[in-house]
Amino acid sequence: MPEKIEARTLASVTIALVLWASAFAGIKAGLTGFGPGELALLRFGTASLVLLAYGFLTRMRMPRRADVGRLLAAGLFGITAYHLCLNFGETNVSASAASLIIASGPVFTAILAHMKLGERLTWWGWLGIAIAFSGVAVLTLGGSGGGLAFEPAAILVLAAAMSTAIYFVISKPLLDRYGALEFTSYCIWFGTLPMLVFLPGLVAQLPSASSSAISSALYLGVFPGAIAYVLYSHTLSKLPASIASSFLYVQPVTATVIAWLWIHEVPTLPTLVGGALALVGVGLTTARGRQRITT
């Protein structure tokens, strides 16, 4: 029997996804002043400082030694790999198209969660995933343009989608032992460390970067970075990974609208049709896709 989602959890994931959706346009804006790696470092360096200040004020506990390896892996896949692949991909892929490719992440998450976490979806859930993924296919094939099918940068964005699926599956057991703020802080700190290789480039690029590029990077760090990750960690602690990740299907619709308003990327008819299919699919998966465990 499907299990209903609490209002607080639904609010958390809604705010997180709106903020994450804005990141695709924000990355495009930030790339006007910084290289992909330098932008990622400035973004998550900012997020790290925000969370570090919070950690000091609240005397956040240190992670257990036994969990450090898993937390490091979560940071590497969810922060380092995901955001470097996405940033480098968006050098040649539009913001709306990138959000559509990322929307394939729940398919990988559902498969991994089925294999590694023993999670089960009802047949309604699998049908919802199929419908939503068909919407993503319509968007990608008909609404992205620019020869996306043969664009190597699109493969990097797909790799980002796979990385975030791995992150969700790694994260789920850890969120039974850590709060959303604690877990998010550890992941962002660990994930930012490898990005320090871009520090010399960031120092060189900062003086010539425009104020709009710098403000975009700072916005990415505080809102789609620190705040959205905390909110989504709360969601992931309350829902199976396969259900929590299925909300990502809604992201392309919001990302397309924000990209239209922010960086003037005009949505096409296939974008609207594919977005409608994605909404139907995610609604079906979240409303009727989760099996209630009975004892």
Question: Can you give the residue ranges of every domain in the chain?
Answer: 7-288
- The phi, psi pair for 121, rounded to 5°, reads -110, 150
pLDDT in tens, 114-148: 676 666 777 887 887 788 778 767 765 654 444 44
In 3D space, the residue among 76, 82, 75 whose CA is nearest the CA of residue 108 turns out to be 82
Q: Collect the ranges in the chain with pLDDT lower than 70.
A: 1-5, 106-107, 110-111, 113-114, 116-119, 136, 139-151, 241-242, 246, 249, 268, 270-271, 275, 279, 282, 285-295
- As given in the structure block, the two tokens for residue 17 are 């996804």
The residue whose two tokens read 């409608």 is 276
Query: Which residues lie closer than 8 Å to 127 by C-beta, 6 or more apart?
Result: 284
The pTM of this model reads 0.81
Q: How many CB atoms are located within 10 Å of the residue 244 CB?
A: 26
Number of residues written out for the chain: 295
- pLDDT reported for residue 117: 63
Could you report the per-residue pLDDT of 190-231, keeping only the tens digit for each?
999 999 999 999 999 999 999 999 999 999 999 999 999 999
pLDDT at 79: 97
Rounded to the nearest 5°, which phi and psi values hold at 289? -90, -20
Structure confidence at residue 2 (pLDDT): 46
- The phi, psi pair for 20, rounded to 5°, reads -65, -40
